[in-house]
Amino acid sequence: MSDSSSVARDSALAVAETRSLRVALSPFVFRGMLAGMGATAVALHRLTGSRSLTWRFAKARARTLEALLGVRVTVTGLEHVVTGGPFVYAPNHQSHLDILALLAHLPGAVRFAAKDSLWQYPVLGAVLDSLGMVPIAREDSTRSIATLERVRDEGESFVVFPEGTRSRTGRLGEFKKGAFVLAIRLGLPIVPVTCIGTRRLMPKGSRLTVVPGEVQLIIERPIPTAGLRFEDRDALAARVREAIERYHTGW
C-alpha cells in the first residue's frame, strides 16, 4: 500500500473516531449547555432586568451548542421576514433540534408558546420566564390570548408548533387549530417554516443523542390573517400545511 493511501486511510479512521466520540458525548454536552445557559439566563435577567440582553445571550449560546454538536444550519427565506413582524411562526416539529435551530436563527427576540404545565417545575419555569416564553392554557383560551396580545403589542413574534408534539414517524402530523385561531384573533400574519434534517440527527426518543450533520430551515412568505374570521381557521391551516409540505422530507 502506498504512503498516500495509508495517510488517507488513517485520516478517514481519525475522522470516524472523532465523529463517534462527538456522538457519544453529545447528550452530556446538550444537557450541560442547557443547564449552564438556563442558569446564566435567569441570573442575567434578575441582575439586569433586561429580557433583550437575556435573549441575545440565549441566541448566541444556541449557536455555540450547534457548533459543539456539529450541527450546521442553513436558513432560506429570511428576506420574507425582514420587516421584523410581529409574526406567528408555524413550523413542523420533528425533533428537539427544531427548537434549538429556530431559537438560534429566526430573526429577533422570538418567543415560544408552550403548554402552561411546564411552569409547574420551578427551575424550568424560571428559565422560561427569563426568556419571555408564553404559557398557553388550553382550558383558558381567554387568558392565553391576553398574554399573546401583550407579546404582539411589544412588537415581538412567537412560535407555535401546529402539530403540538414531535413526529415519531417523520410524517407531518395532524394540525391542531389553536395556532390558526390565535393568529386570526391577534390579526398577525402566519409564517410557515419547514425544518429539514432535524429528525435524522436527533429523532424522538434519542435521549438527546445528536449525530453531526446538516439542517435546513425554509421560511415561507407570511400569510395575512387580517379580515379572517374564526370559521376561516381550517382554510388557513390548509394553506400553512400546503406550504410546509412543498419541502417536507420526513427528516
Here the CATH number for the domain that contains residue 135 is 3.40.1130
> What pLDDT does residue 224 have?
96
Identify whether 130 is part of a domain: yes
> What pLDDT does residue 105 have?
96
> What pLDDT does residue 140 have?
61
Residues of the domain holding 114:
3-245
Give the model's confidence band at 106: pLDDT under 50 very low, under 70 low, under 90 confident, else very high: very high
Choice among 61-65, 169-173, 213-217 with the minimum mean pLDDT: 169-173
Mean pLDDT of all residues in the chain?
Answer: 88
Residue 46, CB half-sphere, CA atoms under 13 Å: how many?
Answer: 10
Q: How many domains does the chain have?
A: 1
Identify whether 99 is part of a domain: yes
Give the model's confidence band at 10: pLDDT under 50 very low, under 70 low, under 90 confident, else very high: very low
pLDDT of 239 above 70: yes
Identify whether 250 is part of a domain: no
pLDDT of 248 above 70: yes
Identify whether 251 is part of a domain: no
